[in-house]
Amino acid sequence: MYTTATAFLEALREVGVSHIFANLGSDHSAIIESLAQARKENRNLPRLIICPHEMVAMSAAHGYAQVSGEPQAVLVHVECGTQNLGGAVHNAAKGRIPVLIFAGASPYTQEGEVRGSRNEFIHWIQDVFDQRGIVRGYTKYDNEIRSGDNVKQLVHRAMQFAISDPKGPVYLMGAREVMEEETEPVTIQPELWGPVTPCALPPQGIAELASDLIKAKNPLIITSYLGRNPEAVGELIRLSRRLAIPVIESVPNYMNFPADHPMHVGYQWNTAKQNELLAEADLVLVLDSDVPWIPIKNKPAENARIYYIDIDPLKEQMPLWYIPSKRFFKADSHVALQQLNQYLQGVDLIDEEAVMMRWRKFSQIHERQREELIREEQPDPAGITPAYLTACVREVMDDHTLVLSEGISNYETISTHLQTIRPGSLFTSGGGSLGWNGGAAIGAKLAEPEKNVISLTGDGAYLFSIPATVHWMANRYRTPFLTVIYNNRGWKSPKLSTLGVHPDGVAKQTGQFWVDFDPSADLARIAEAAGGTYAKTVKKASELKEALENGLRRVREGRSAVLDVRLPPI
């Protein structure tokens, strides 16, 4: 029997999906039957990964796509499962991650007119007017499968949206009767459904930007997610070196520029002070950044010329966003940097002495920053500091390590002290919904099974990740990874936000912020109970390095590890 569900699964394979992260329900009978039939006949279809929670399913697909560059699929149950994806859809949208989501729908017949007609009470309860509307604000494309005759075309079209810049999630749904419908096989040529070709700078734009960069006395580059394409990092290094342009990473989602490069001059996040290098810049080139600075705290000089190069320079899904710039270019940063670097090869008007002086100046700034980092990383007798913890993580990493960071109040600390230097070695969700870390680690390990995966997370984000589901999955699918919890026993970020608006308010005076997790849970043992992980709570700085090494050894042996590292409480 060849059904719409069979054609749908074949189409997923054709578009490059290797894994379906699934939370199954009554609407998936046709898909389950097609998968069973394919296994019996030894036919190749995407591997189904059972996910007891949809948030973890979406996060796992997200992590897999980030690490591998290959889009994956998520299967959820009607509108309830769609809602249970929760903030993971937001993360994929804001992080520009290609994921195809499929949800069933309540049957549209109730008297047995066709196969799949309603036969359970829940089919009436789960019938809603606008199921697709639940995620429409976060998806690039949504549609309903109404026939098996064109289901493959719909899947290919949806994925074409997902993998074209700016990338993002897409959503398809189909009622049970439609997925059970018998149909005829359709042949699709996948090469005719590729992504839209990356945009480039216009010729006059290249000349104008290059001229202004050459004339600038204090040029500066700011980026956040250029490193989503590891090849772009090399081109950024080339431009920075040629003109001695310093680089700041603002809320980095990836490793965008090597931390040990002489032109790397730091990271910024919610820091409540002016970055002097930004204030001194007479030209700022922004490459792939949603929030290059926060104007109320930190911004360029009024007379600074700003150029914006981004796959989404207008931030079309952000209602309030503006950074007045001399030019906005909708372009792929890798392509644009190649164009700029090639153009500069044929330019003879570069003041080489000025470039050399700038190189010396910012190399010295870079060295002073590194000396300050070393001072911050010294052990503190009073307890384990986030800086010291991150430095210890850095020491146990090797060239085969992937780091996932979801330390929110420690975001800047982790970026600064991890000091990543390899493209494709650091990832964040790119969004603002906590709980990505656990599922993403599973996806990353599935994508790169030979690499060590380390997840750095706050205690709040760890609880949001649904650790019982995460570690059950890691155990079942043999995707061991190390979790390091930056445990300050509460939500520090809401406290910092309150103090940012009311620095001398009643909340500060009374110490009432309602953010502490007292009494503290034994976070590591949650994972131990759910997935047989190696669990350890670390309270002393003297125990930290050994605990990290032991945890990684367990991971290499095939067992996940969770270290609950106790930091000073909030």
> Residue range 516-526: average pLDDT?
87
pLDDT, tens only, 128-178:
999 999 999 999 999 999 999 999 999 999 999 999 999 999 999 999 999
Q: For residues 422 and 353, what is the distance between their CA atoms, to the nearest angstrom?
A: 30
Assign 123 to helix, strand or coil.
Answer: helix
In contact, 46 and 9? CB cutoff 8 Å? yes
Is the model's pLDDT at 491 over the cut of 80? no
Please give the mean pLDDT across all residues of the chain.
Answer: 95
In contact, 205 and 326? CB cutoff 8 Å? no
Q: For residues 451 and 361, what is the distance between their CA atoms, to the nearest angstrom?
A: 38
Phi first, then psi, for residue 61 (nearest 5°) are: -60, -40
Name the least confident of 115-124, 420-429, 505-514.
505-514
Please give the pLDDT value at position 516. Answer: 85
> Residue range 235-259: average pLDDT?
98
Q: For residues 331 and 62, what is the distance between their CA atoms, to the nearest angstrom?
A: 23
Please give the pLDDT value at position 321. Answer: 95
Q: For residues 228 and 249, what is the distance between their CA atoms, to the nearest angstrom?
A: 13
**For the whole model, what pTM was predicted?**
0.95
Q: For residues 239 and 557, what is the distance between their CA atoms, to the nearest angstrom?
A: 42
Assign 328 to helix, strand or coil.
Answer: strand
User: What is the percentage of the chain residues whose pLDDT exceeds 90?
Assistant: 91
User: From the CB of residue 312, how many other CB atoms can be counted at a distance below 10 Å?
Assistant: 15
